[in-house]
Amino acid sequence: MINKIKYLLLLAVLAFQFTACNDWLSVLPENEQVSDEYWTSKEEVESVLASGYVYLRDAVPRLVQWGELRGGAIYSINGNDLQTFQVTPDDGSLCSWAPLYKVINMANSVIANAEVVMQRDETFDEAVMTSYLTEAYYLRALSYFYIVRNWRDAPLILAPYETDKISYEKEKSSEAEIIAQIKEDITTALGSGAAKEKYEEDWATKGRGTKWSLHALMADVCLWSEDYQAAIMHCNEVLDATSAFRPVFVTDPTKWYELFYPGNSNGSIFEINWDHGVYNQTNNLATQFGNGSPVYVYSEQMLLDWIDETDLTGSNEAVRSLYGAFVPDVNGDDYANASLGYVWKYSGIGMQAQVRNTVNEQDPNYMVYRVADVMLMKAEAMILSSSDMQAWSVAIDLINEVRTRAKLPVLEPVLEELNEADMLELVLYERNMELAGEGKRWYDLLRFGKRDGFKYRSLFLIDMVVAYNRTANPAWIRSVLNNDDALFLPIETSELENNRLLVQNPYYHATN
Amino acid sequence: MKKYLLISMVFLLVFSCEDPYENENFVVYDLYPAATYLETREDEFSQWIEILKYADLYNAVNQASKTFTLFVPDNDAVDAFLSEKGVDNIADLGVSYAKALVQYHIIEGEVPQKEFLIGGKLTKATISGDYLSVSFDDNENTEGGLNSVYVNEEALVNEFANEVTNGFVYALDDVLTPLVETVYDRINENSQYSIFKEAVEATGWDEILSTVYDTVQNEFGGTTVVKRNYTAFVVSNATFGADGIASLSDLASKVGASSDYESPENMLNQYVAYHLLSSTRYIEDLYSFSDGDSTAIWSTRASKQVISTHNFWGTNYVNYDEATSSGIELVPGKTDMPARNGILHEVDHYMPVFAPNPMTIIWDVCDFDDVASFVNAYGAENELGDIYQIPQSGEHWIQFTTDAIKSYSWKENSTAGWYPPLGYLVTKTNDGGKTNTYKAYKNDMLVVNLGYLGHVTMQTPVLLQGRYKVELFYASAGSLAPFVSGGSLCKVSLDATENEVYVYDGAKASVGIYGMTLFNEIEFDETDAHQFKVVLLDARATTHSAYRLQLDYLKFTPIND
């Protein structure tokens, strides 16, 4: 008997050893696909496409960090090399573009195989197939747009990695080439006419690529590439749409918070979706932000901005400030004496102090585009496309619509006395407040600063980052932001090792 | 059973796929200790290797038992440095110079890149006992970021934190110039200051101004090393000339001195002493005033004499005379001249002893040279850098010892709490050093926890003759709640004038600085320093574990009729 037990024990130990080799013996993660025999049914296409969204969800923690920390309106209380501008190629997750290339690979797979599947699966309707393609183009364009804004130059990979026959080694393409590809993808998607205006399930209308999200993305890309007429045109496709399914600017201030809770509201265009209740999908946005023991909080200057804005409406009438986008570390009425400001968009359930249910509501969506964003993009493009007072007054009207909803006094500037920089400052300020915590700030500062040959580098990039970011030495921030290459992330070391055609961003050559 | 276990363990070792280092790269073959590492790059650093060897520190930085951070100028940098010194070879500068130079380029301990790039003074001292500082050139025409980082604002950093087995190596584009000259050396080396120099030498002050460290004997036969610091207001020959002074004897007769120059009462001796302060005061220190003030008073080394600094209408003055509406100015470009033991500023007038009008004096009760030295030594020991009057990320309660601290005399009785009987509190900051949590003046406080009937005495700065209201500013905190209701009885005195007061009475039990009046009116018959004494008359000083006073500053407000 004793002997039997000994042998059983030994067997058990041996069994453990083999299963420990999960690199070899475990099944592939559900969302990965490599098989040659795979592409046979439309369900497979749909599942790969869905994997693209899943990977996009996985990328959200990085999207938050990349979009916010360098801008300094929000900082990590645990410290972070992004906010101190000290990212090195060895900083793994902070400078790994893998989360985005995973999305791209899924999109590439759909684009490369959808038509083949249609021939194999008779139930795969062409209209459905083309519609899937528009989503794949959207996911690919969006991912490359994040890549170009963070690394500037990167390998442009347009075919899926499905077999060993494809070389993993690929040199970088320039920013211009990547931007051109993004625009081509969006144009192809829109040109097919198959992009949906809505889906059967409500969440999908905001959680999957649509005609509206394609236009919003295109407007954003055109602003980045300084093509202002095109940016205006794409903004108008959203703002002037007459379709019953269009996203709309909800003017009722009491509904402002519905953008974030429950989410997928009329004012939204594209948000990365989670569903705790039905699919048990959760994220930690509510705990990483919020007023429990968060990782990310507003910086001192941002807190002052919120206090100023709350002063303008009074604490009882506040919309996007007190209990909107921000809660203080003191009682609401005492907000002026706050010493710390918390991000409220992901943690609250309305314009009040109550937090989300921790049992079944840890699933705030992550906003990527919404109508107010598009309105402010249009305002920015109007200012830059012309110095005509009429164009500028359109811009002011757009800003005022956003302000009116927030119950803030409208701006009534004497346009003749303002120059382009003054006008841009108004848009930038409004974007910072309206879109706070939505992962936009750093890209906004970079876009405003770099346009027109870095004409506004000091005004909108350096001075703003120094004013908001208190986590690093101001002279260091100024010095770093003077270097064009340092505005972008290094290529992670392991990428360089695996892809010998890659050349590191020159700024990071001196780093060890 | 044991056998099977052993066998299975062996299996585990052989077959297990759990490699704890799976995703890490180890490139062991190119890691060397610091000096050997430099040898591998001999074509770039051979000159510095030679200096290391000449200074006999080559093997020292190769030790495996210690870690170092080396700052290594490349060959071009060393060549430029030698030619600037007018020598061909390091040997021409002598071994002791080479040693000082190399020691200034080595920190014992590791300074990784991310710590280095925080900027400002590094928190670990060099082997020579100095703190290097890191700065960033943020001029828009420079390359910026990692390409524009300087050490001591003189050497560009070419490479950051190259890893070696016993630390890090930074490559520099220039040699760092160690600060070896004393205040006296600075006066001596400049021929423009020859009259002032002669006065310094004739009065015997040259010896004091050459002192960097003093070894102070204590009553038990032990010794303490105290770092000395001075601020010298120097006068050029040209400035003397404007007042008809062309020689030392002219100066002596101008100030009415007899020939016994070395006597402290001698007028020339007093004149020189009047140009010296017992601490390092940069322009920024001399001209930063407390709220709403534009004038400050500084005790000089001349007995009972002070100088005043003023900022009126944007101009910095010394000893502004309201009677003539004029003041002495500092010579542009000749201020903040650093020396190993202090700082020099040139003034544009020969600056005789002057009695300013009575004015409000804010006196930080920790403002003593030996306190600064003691606290900074604690900072160095704990790798915090200079922490005197600089708020830190956490509080530090530093207990004074009678060996090292002579500025206070105190009597200690038994106590209940953990607070130092007499000590220094470095406050903490939550905003990167802009403010401290208490909002304490100069970011520090004197902690007094001497037990019932314990007492401490200290000397005030020189106060101008006149009548003053005297207020005490102290800190309260949540843990002091038991003392807030009713206060805690103390006897305070300035020289022989006494008063009993209740500290904490009327304050809140929350972190902050509170004020109380010690004397509504007190008269000083002559310009002089005074003895300030606090006796603890609260029995809880012995029995209550939360008891302590945290004294911030005294404010003397002149009373004008």
Helix axes B42-54, B95-103, angle to 10 degrees: 120
| A88 vs A512: CA distance, rounded Å | 8
Beta-strand relationship, B155-164 and B396-399: unpaired
For chain B, the C-alpha Rg in angstroms (whole number) is 28
Is residue A421 very low, low, confident or very high in pLDDT (cuts 50, 70, 90)?
very high
**B16 interfaces chain A, CB cutoff of 8 Å:** yes
Question: Which residue on chain B is closest to A507 by alpha carbon?
Answer: B146
Contacts of A471 in chain B (CB under 8 A): 432
Three-state SS for B407? coil
Q: Tell me: the pLDDT tens digits for B71-122?
A: 999 999 999 999 998 999 999 989 988 998 999 999 999 999 999 998 888 8
Are A325 and A350 in contact by the 8 Å Cβ rule? The answer is no
**B432 interfaces chain A, CB cutoff of 8 Å:** yes
Question: Which residue on chain B is closest to A458 by alpha carbon?
Answer: B140
Are A160 and A139 in contact by the 8 Å Cβ rule? The answer is no
For chain A, the C-alpha Rg in angstroms (whole number) is 24
Are B244 and B250 in contact by the 8 Å Cβ rule? The answer is yes
Is residue A29 very low, low, confident or very high in pLDDT (cuts 50, 70, 90)?
very low
**B321 interfaces chain A, CB cutoff of 8 Å:** no
Nearest to B144 among A470, A471, A486 (CB): A486
Give me the pLDDT at residue A475, please: 92
Q: Tell me: the pLDDT tens digits for B393-407?
A: 999 999 999 988 999
Are B40 and B79 in contact by the 8 Å Cβ rule? The answer is no
Percentage of chain B with pLDDT > 90? Answer: 66
pTM > 0.80: no
Give me the pLDDT at residue B134, please: 92
What class is the A42-227 domain?
Answer: mainly alpha
A486 to B8: CB separation less than 8 angstroms, yes or no: no
Nearest to A17 among B15, B146, B159 (CB): B15
Are B137 and B148 in contact by the 8 Å Cβ rule? The answer is yes
Give me the pLDDT at residue A18, please: 39
Contacts of A72 in chain B (CB under 8 A): none
| B358 vs B311: CA distance, rounded Å | 17
Give me the pLDDT at residue B181, please: 85
Q: Both ends of chain B: CA-CA distance in Å?
A: 100
**B525 interfaces chain A, CB cutoff of 8 Å:** no
Is residue A161 very low, low, confident or very high in pLDDT (cuts 50, 70, 90)?
confident
B432 to A470: CB separation less than 8 angstroms, yes or no: yes
Asked if ipTM goes beyond 0.95, one says: no
Q: Which residue type, as a one-letter code, is found at position B209?
A: L
| A232 vs A382: CA distance, rounded Å | 7
Q: Look at residue B5 and tell me whether its pLDDT is greater than 60.
A: no
Q: What are the angstrom distances between the C-alpha of B153 and each of B108, B132, B137, B182?
A: 21, 10, 9, 20
Is residue A344 very low, low, confident or very high in pLDDT (cuts 50, 70, 90)?
very high
Question: Which residue on chain B is closest to A79 by alpha carbon?
Answer: B114
Nearest to A483 among B18, B147, B431 (CB): B147
Domains of chain B: 29-172 (2.30.180.10), 183-357 (2.30.180.10), 364-558 (2.60.120.260)
Q: Which of A169, A151, A196, A51 is nearest to A110 (CA)?
A: A51
Other beta carbons within 10 Å of B86 = 8
Nearest to A17 among B16, B145, B161 (CB): B16
Residue A328, preceding peptide bond in cis (omega within 30° of 0): no
| A218 vs B247: CA distance, rounded Å | 81
Nearest to A507 among B15, B113, B145 (CB): B145
CATH topology match: A42-227 vs A370-487:
yes
Is residue B26 very low, low, confident or very high in pLDDT (cuts 50, 70, 90)?
low
**B146 interfaces chain A, CB cutoff of 8 Å:** yes
Q: What are the angstrom distances between the C-alpha of B434 and each of A75, A479, B284, B442, B443?
A: 18, 22, 15, 11, 10
| B309 vs B290: CA distance, rounded Å | 13
* Distance between B69 CA and the closest CA of chain A, angstroms: 15
Nearest to A476 among B136, B147, B430 (CB): B136
Q: Look at residue A21 and tell me whether its pLDDT is greater than 50.
A: no
| A490 vs A497: CA distance, rounded Å | 14
- Which is more confident, B185 or B130? B185
Q: Which has the minimum average pLDDT: A217-221, A301-305, B276-280?
A: B276-280
Is residue A489 very low, low, confident or very high in pLDDT (cuts 50, 70, 90)?
very high
| B556 vs B446: CA distance, rounded Å | 18
Give me the pLDDT at residue A3, please: 52
Residues forming a β-bridge with B67: none
Q: Look at residue A277 and tell me whether its pLDDT is greater than 60.
A: yes
Q: What are A's interface residues with B at a Cβ cutoff of 8 A?
A: 6, 9-10, 13-14, 17-18, 20-24, 81, 84-86, 88, 300, 339, 457-458, 470-476, 478-483, 486, 507, 510-512
Q: Tell me: the pLDDT tens digits for A46-79?
A: 999 999 999 999 999 999 999 999 999 999 999 9
The mean per-residue pLDDT over the stretch A80-103 comes to 94
Q: Look at residue B285 and tell me whether its pLDDT is greater than 90.
A: no
Average pLDDT, rounded, for chain A: 91
Are A265 and A370 in contact by the 8 Å Cβ rule? The answer is no
Q: Tell me: the pLDDT tens digits for B533-559?
A: 999 999 999 999 999 999 999 999 988
Nearest to B137 among A10, A20, A479 (CB): A479
Query: What part of B 157-176 touches A (C-beta under 8 Å)?
Result: 158-163
A86 to B148: CB separation less than 8 angstroms, yes or no: no
Residue with tokens 């009207």: A397
Question: Which residue on chain A is closest to B143 by alpha carbon?
Answer: A483
The mean per-residue pLDDT over the stretch A132-153 comes to 98
Q: Look at residue A11 and tell me whether its pLDDT is greater than 50.
A: no
Give me the pLDDT at residue B24, please: 58
Q: Classify residue A262 by its DSSP letter.
A: T
Percentage of chain B with pLDDT > 70? Answer: 93
Q: Which has the minimum average pLDDT: A63-67, A217-221, A464-468, B128-132?
A: B128-132
Residue with tokens 């220094």: B424
Contacts of B143 in chain A (CB under 8 A): 482-483
Q: Classify residue B527 by its DSSP letter.
A: S
**B19 interfaces chain A, CB cutoff of 8 Å:** no
Is residue A438 very low, low, confident or very high in pLDDT (cuts 50, 70, 90)?
very high
Number of helices (H) and strands (E), helices first, in chain B? 16, 29
The structure tokens listed for A463 are 């001075």
| A56 vs B11: CA distance, rounded Å | 41
B146 to A17: CB separation less than 8 angstroms, yes or no: no
Helix axes A42-68, A98-120, angle to 10 degrees: 160
Q: Classify residue A483 by its DSSP letter.
A: -
Domain ranges of chain A: 42-227, 279-364, 370-487
A481 to B144: CB separation less than 8 angstroms, yes or no: yes
Give every CB contact of residue A327 below 8 A, 6+ residues apart in sequence: A291, A341, A342, A344, A348, A353
| A205 vs A169: CA distance, rounded Å | 37
* Distance between B8 CA and the closest CA of chain A, angstroms: 7
Q: Which residue type, as a one-letter code, is found at position B517?
A: T
Residues forming a β-bridge with B224: B216
| B339 vs B185: CA distance, rounded Å | 8
Q: Classify residue B507 by its DSSP letter.
A: -
B136 to A6: CB separation less than 8 angstroms, yes or no: no
Longest CA span, chain B: 104
| B388 vs B445: CA distance, rounded Å | 11
Give me the pLDDT at residue A429, please: 98
Element spanning B354, H or E: none
Give every CB contact of residue A205 below 8 A, 6+ residues apart in sequence: A196, A198, A199, A245, A264
* Distance between A339 CA and the closest CA of chain B, angstroms: 10
| B105 vs B58: CA distance, rounded Å | 13
B11 to A512: CB separation less than 8 angstroms, yes or no: no
Q: Look at residue A494 and tell me whether its pLDDT is greater than 60.
A: yes
Q: Which CATH architecture has domain A370-487?
A: Alpha Horseshoe (1.25)
A479 to B149: CB separation less than 8 angstroms, yes or no: yes
Contacts of A14 in chain B (CB under 8 A): 8, 11
The mean per-residue pLDDT over the stretch A121-133 comes to 95
- Which is more confident, B355 or A288? A288
Contacts of B140 in chain A (CB under 8 A): 457-458, 482
Average pLDDT, rounded, for chain B: 90
Contacts of A70 in chain B (CB under 8 A): none
Q: Residue A98: what are its φ and ψ, rounded to 5°?
A: -55, -40
A512 to B143: CB separation less than 8 angstroms, yes or no: no
**B402 interfaces chain A, CB cutoff of 8 Å:** no
B11 to A479: CB separation less than 8 angstroms, yes or no: no
Are B306 and B465 in contact by the 8 Å Cβ rule? The answer is no
Question: Which residue on chain B is closest to A6 by alpha carbon?
Answer: B1
The structure tokens listed for B396 are 């530090």
Give every CB contact of residue A165 below 8 A, 6+ residues apart in sequence: none
The structure tokens listed for B485 are 């209701």
Give me the pLDDT at residue A12, please: 45
Is residue B19 very low, low, confident or very high in pLDDT (cuts 50, 70, 90)?
low
Give me the pLDDT at residue B456, please: 97
Is residue B430 very low, low, confident or very high in pLDDT (cuts 50, 70, 90)?
confident
Give me the pLDDT at residue A396, please: 98
The structure tokens listed for B1 are 């059973």
* Distance between A177 CA and the closest CA of chain B, angstroms: 26
Is residue A22 very low, low, confident or very high in pLDDT (cuts 50, 70, 90)?
very low
Q: Look at residue B131 and tell me whether its pLDDT is greater than 90.
A: no
**B147 interfaces chain A, CB cutoff of 8 Å:** yes
Is residue B279 very low, low, confident or very high in pLDDT (cuts 50, 70, 90)?
confident
| A140 vs A138: CA distance, rounded Å | 5
Q: Tell me: the pLDDT tens digits for B143-163?
A: 999 999 999 889 999 999 999
Give every CB contact of residue B132 below 8 A, 6+ residues apart in sequence: B71, B107, B121, B122, B126, B151, B152, B176
Question: Which residue on chain A is closest to B3 by alpha carbon?
Answer: A6
Contacts of A21 in chain B (CB under 8 A): 17
Three-state SS for B508? coil
Q: Residue A73: what are its φ and ψ, rounded to 5°?
A: -70, -30
Length of chain B: 561
Give me the pLDDT at residue A272, please: 97
Determine which of B22, B27, B122, B138 to mutate to test the interface with A (most A C-beta atoms within 10 Å).
B138
Give me the pLDDT at residue B23, please: 59
Inter-chain Cβ pairs, chain A and chain B, closer than 8 A: 102
Three-state SS for B106? strand
A470 to B431: CB separation less than 8 angstroms, yes or no: yes
Give every CB contact of residue A162 below 8 A, 6+ residues apart in sequence: A34, A36, A109, A112
Q: Which residue type, as a one-letter code, is found at position B526?
A: E
